[in-house]
Amino acid sequence: MTTLTLPRLLRASRLLVLAAAIGGPLLSVAAPAAPADAGTPRGKPIEAILTSPPHVPPPTNRNYPAKVIVNLEVVEKTMQISEGVNYTFWTFGGTVPGSFIRVRQGDTVEFHLKNHPGSKMPHNIDLHGVTGPGGGAASSFTAPGHESQFTFKALNEGIYVYHCATAPVGMHVANGMYGLILVEPPQGLPKVDKEYYVMQGDFYTTGKYREKGHQPFDMEKAIDEKPTYVLFNGAEGALTGDKAITANVGEKVRLYIGNGGPNLISSFHVIGAIFDQVRFEGGSNVQKNVQTTVIPAGGAAIATFTARVPGSYVMVDHSLFRAFNKGALAILRIDGAENKAIYSGKEVDAVYLGDRAQPNLAAVTQAAQGAAAGKLTKDEQIKAGQQLFAGTCSVCHQSDGKGMAGVFPPLAKSDFLGAGAAKAIDVVLRGLSGKVTVNGTDYNSVMPPMNQLNDDEVANILTYVFNSWGNPGHVVSKDDVKKARAAAPAAQGQAEHK
Ligand SMILES: [Cu+2]
């Protein structure tokens, strides 16, 4: 919990305002049943096992309160936020979200916060599971190369967010400074087969979504609450492909789901699964049979469900543009025998996921690097284009380019494409509507503009299209696309399409 009474907090007025916003209202809520002060710690001090996401430390398996020592190091480091896109994250423990901490109600926690000597900024920590001013923030302000120590008693059980609260707080959080601490009830949590740690966050880069290279933090977008990325576990693809989380048919799965924010509320949903139970808001009440659970910024939930039918289950923020256009998508893969009585089968992955179903977009990065170095081969363009086509265009034009009779015109051997690259670029950037005749067949439908793609991506997709399925074989360059994008739409032959 956060409060305002601390002199050190008072000194930083910006921090004060944010602290009020985060913690203020909580203070006026009537206290639930008195929390357990389980008395003095017993036994030898225990060093807490910390884990990186999506892993969760094992249960404490203790029936007495102990002194638990937590050593957490802040590390500022550059990591991939999306394929070919780097971002300088500020982390608790080297990962986003930060290390998972697990203690037992009644434990006395001796917290050591270290700030790596390579850091540029001071940091601190506010744990929502702490009862005391600033949730530890005021006692843990730590300059680079220093260490702070404070001790708290874990009075209330539950799943709690922790985060950095150094001004500007929003920026520290936006850079990835948050994680979860689980305070187990004295009797422990019911046994399950798998436990995972998933945490959402919104990110703000100066470049557009998937714009390659190193992307700095964009304060203005953050203030406007217009994220470039909304992500699970700090990177697009952190939990997809071979990094998907897994379970077997018949297993009970428990998810600890946090939301670091700093701005957005998550509508957390697993496509094709129903949560048997959710401890919503991380509190002690249990809601049953939940489809989508709201996770506030700075909040968390514990959700359990049973894996019943094998396949890929897509975890999303059901504010769907975040899922499909900002990265808020993860996969839970369930292995095991089919259960036709519950579900007939047939995977719908590709349709739902597009290029996000791919294990990775490495060819896209390679092409971007080649382009940056000025030595991009046609082959690299085609490879990158093929991967991007799989998510962007194949939904309608199909992966074999043959389209769908009466609805989506073919790209394979399309005489429209025979008219040259300029028209094709225009269609991708500005869309197409009204009557169009392809290979003697009329289509009168709408293709939305694909202008979320950057110049590089359009060039690679079209190079792939032109060099596949018997098409004429042009190479489309990034510059061609750039020029077309800059040109006035009317000059691009709109009239012809109408
Ligand atoms: Cu910080």
Mean pLDDT for the chain overall = 86
Report the separation in Å between the CA atom of 124 and the middle of ligand 1, taken as the mean of its atom positions.
Answer: 6
Report the separation in Å between the CA atom of 74 and the middle of ligand 1, taken as the mean of its atom positions.
Answer: 8
pLDDT score of 20: 37
128 carries a ligand binding annotation: yes
β-pairing verdict for 441-447 and 432-438: antiparallel
pLDDT score of 454: 85
- Region 284-300 average pLDDT: 96
In percent, the amount of the chain with pLDDT more than 90 equals 65
pLDDT score of 490: 47
121 carries a ligand binding annotation: no
Predicted confidence (pLDDT) at residue 326 exceeds the cutoff of 50 = yes
In percent, the amount of the chain with pLDDT more than 70 equals 85
Report the separation in Å between the CA atom of 130 and the middle of ligand 1, taken as the mean of its atom positions.
Answer: 18
Predicted confidence (pLDDT) at residue 305 exceeds the cutoff of 80 = yes
pLDDT score of 418: 87
Report the separation in Å between the CA atom of 352 and the middle of ligand 1, taken as the mean of its atom positions.
Answer: 36
Predicted confidence (pLDDT) at residue 424 exceeds the cutoff of 80 = yes
pLDDT digit string, tens, across residues 226-242: 999 999 999 998 998 88
pLDDT score of 17: 38
pLDDT score of 15: 39
Burial of 133 (0-12, 13-18, 19+ CB in 10 A): buried
Report the separation in Å between the CA atom of 176 and the middle of ligand 1, taken as the mean of its atom positions.
Answer: 9
pLDDT score of 357: 53
Confidence band, pLDDT 50/70/90 cuts, at residue 30 = very low
pLDDT score of 24: 36
pLDDT score of 356: 58
Q: At 394, which amino acid appears?
A: S
Report the separation in Å between the CA atom of 362 and the middle of ligand 1, taken as the mean of its atom positions.
Answer: 31
Confidence band, pLDDT 50/70/90 cuts, at residue 28 = very low
- Region 281-306 average pLDDT: 96
Q: Is 268 helix (H, G, I), strand (E, B) or coil?
A: strand
Confidence band, pLDDT 50/70/90 cuts, at residue 32 = very low
Pairwise CA distance, residues 391 & 210, whole Å:
14
177 carries a ligand binding annotation: yes
- Candidate from 216-225, 337-346, 437-446, 487-496 with smallest mean pLDDT: 487-496
pLDDT score of 21: 39
Report the separation in Å between the CA atom of 84 and the middle of ligand 1, taken as the mean of its atom positions.
Answer: 25
Tell me the C-alpha to C-alpha distance, in Å, between residue 25 and each of 3, 21, 28, 251, 454.
10, 8, 6, 39, 43
Report the separation in Å between the CA atom of 57 and the middle of ligand 1, taken as the mean of its atom positions.
Answer: 24
Tell me the C-alpha to C-alpha distance, in Å, between residue 59 and each of 156, 192, 338.
17, 11, 31
Q: 473 vs 108, which has greater pLDDT?
A: 108
- State pTM to two decimals: 0.72
Q: Which range in 15-29, 93-107, 336-350, 407-421 is most confidently predicted, on average pLDDT?
A: 93-107
pLDDT score of 48: 97
Q: Which range in 130-134, 251-255, 271-275, 306-310 is most confidently predicted, on average pLDDT?
A: 251-255
- Candidate from 31-35, 212-216, 474-478 with smallest mean pLDDT: 31-35
| Cβ 171 vs Cβ 219: under 8 Å | yes
pLDDT score of 328: 94
Confidence band, pLDDT 50/70/90 cuts, at residue 291 = very high
pLDDT score of 4: 39
Report the separation in Å between the CA atom of 123 and the middle of ligand 1, taken as the mean of its atom positions.
Answer: 4
pLDDT digit string, tens, across residues 382-414: 988 998 888 788 878 888 999 888 888 999 999
- Region 147-155 average pLDDT: 95
Report the separation in Å between the CA atom of 376 and the middle of ligand 1, taken as the mean of its atom positions.
Answer: 39
Q: Which range in 10-14, 100-104, 118-122, 138-142 is most confidently predicted, on average pLDDT?
A: 100-104
Pairwise CA distance, residues 178 & 259, whole Å:
9
Report the separation in Å between the CA atom of 83 and the middle of ligand 1, taken as the mean of its atom positions.
Answer: 25
Pairwise CA distance, residues 21 & 459, whole Å:
46
- Region 104-120 average pLDDT: 95
Evaluated on CA atoms 292, 296, 297, 303, the torsion sign reads negative
163 carries a ligand binding annotation: yes
pLDDT score of 495: 38
pLDDT score of 59: 97
Report the separation in Å between the CA atom of 163 and the middle of ligand 1, taken as the mean of its atom positions.
Answer: 8
The CB density around residue 393, as the number of other CB atoms within 10 Å, is 24
Report the separation in Å between the CA atom of 94 and the middle of ligand 1, taken as the mean of its atom positions.
Answer: 13
Give residue for tokens 């920590």.
125
Report the separation in Å between the CA atom of 129 and the middle of ligand 1, taken as the mean of its atom positions.
Answer: 18
Predicted confidence (pLDDT) at residue 287 exceeds the cutoff of 80 = yes
393 carries a ligand binding annotation: no
